[in-house]
Amino acid sequence: MTPLTFRLARLLDARGWAAFAAIAVAAAMVVPLLNTALPAGHPLRLPDYMVPLLGKYVCYAILALALDLCWGYAGILSLGHGAFFALGGYCMGMYLMRQIGTRGVYGHPVLPDFMVFLNWKELPAYWYGFDMFWYALLMVVLVPGALAFVFGFLAFRSRVTGVYLSIITQALTFAMMLGFFRNNFGFGGNNGLTDFKELLGFDVQARSTRIGLYVASVLALALAFLACRFVVTSKLGRVMLALRDAESRVRFLGYSVTSAKLFAFTLSAMLAGVAGALYVPQVGIINPSEFSPANSIEVAIWVAVGGRGTLVGAVLGAFLVNFAKTWLTGAAPEVWLFFLGALFIGVTLFLPRGLAGLAGQWRAGLGAAFRRRPGAVEARDA
């Protein structure tokens, strides 16, 4: 085995790989089967609307994973990750807009409806190329990645850390939101991009496309998880953990704190972009409210609830909090924000390491109890 394949094989231990494979296959298979194989009216049949809803959660889980990589490991609390998510989403949205072609309300062969409405005569240069899927995919990672790289370079080089960094990431996403709300930005103003028709020739409303998108999201989540594991189990991952504990010591050891942080932040932004790109065709719209600062704060809450610095916890937190949100905003909409606030306070006070930490404690406690029982008598004698 080459060193690299050896590293890949050791990303998880044997039980970890088994659990990972079981969950990934189950998530990718069970939902489509429950949706299509069971007859209508069957009690276990998954209603059609649930497929894109679950797909949306999976995208949120990728976003949470991305934030956990830079917050939980490198200690960079970004409260602007919604911006990278939205940028990835806009890149995908631009592709989907170009696919509408003459089927828009105004039937213009090149210009999206909102541009015709604004009386624009030609396509802005930054829309070029988005009719090609590969180009759009490239932009989905490059645009958020480039923004994170430039922003991160300036911030980390000037040694902006902690709460100051969090505040300027909030400012970043807020500024982006204000920009994207403007019609002359060329991204559809406050309506954003919507009324999508086709993705790679498949009808985005069709059940089969939605299942395909869901499965693609699950695969992306699985790959993103493995990619993050690769980073955090590497020496670079240990440098990240180290700089979270004692940044100046890392510097005195000769490592560049700036480049380690920049790597984590940029990779994380790229993952967030992928999540946004998968999210947009499933929800059918992208608009500037995705940039709203509150969205980014919510992501941090998912990660905190699940347990930061564990990767698994981030995914878990994203699913649990969003299930709760869907349920509560339906059952008692006015309670949701109070619930979210209470959840955050509760987790901070009682579960500083989140649900994943709780599971670890419980397992350790249980293990200790098992060990203690047979040895208890000898221990007292000794």
| Interatomic CA distance for residues 368 and 379, integer angstroms | 13
| Interatomic CA distance for residues 232 and 234, integer angstroms | 5
By beta-carbon proximity to another protein, the closer residue of 98 and 353 is 353
By beta-carbon proximity to another protein, the closer residue of 103 and 363 is 363
- Measured from the CB of residue 257, what is the shortest distance to another protein in angstroms? 8
Q: Which amino acid would we find at residue 323?
A: F
CA distances from 349 to 169, 264, 304, 346 (A): 25, 28, 11, 5
By beta-carbon proximity to another protein, the closer residue of 74 and 176 is 74
Ramachandran assignment for 161, one of left (phi > 0), alpha (psi -120 to 50 degrees), beta (any other):
beta
Residue 220 has a CB neighbour count (10 Å cut-off) of 19
- Measured from the CB of residue 7, what is the shortest distance to another protein in angstroms? 7
- Measured from the CB of residue 220, what is the shortest distance to another protein in angstroms? 21
Give me the residues that bind another protein (CB under 8 A), please: 3-4, 7, 230-231, 234-236, 238-239, 241-242, 244-246, 248-256, 259-260, 262-263
Helices (H), the chain: 3-9, 14-36, 50-68, 81-100, 113-117, 133-157, 162-181, 207-232, 235-245, 247-252, 257-283, 293-306, 312-331, 336-350, 354-381
- Measured from the CB of residue 242, what is the shortest distance to another protein in angstroms? 4
By beta-carbon proximity to another protein, the closer residue of 3 and 333 is 3
By beta-carbon proximity to another protein, the closer residue of 150 and 200 is 150
- Measured from the CB of residue 263, what is the shortest distance to another protein in angstroms? 4
The DSSP letter of residue 76 is -
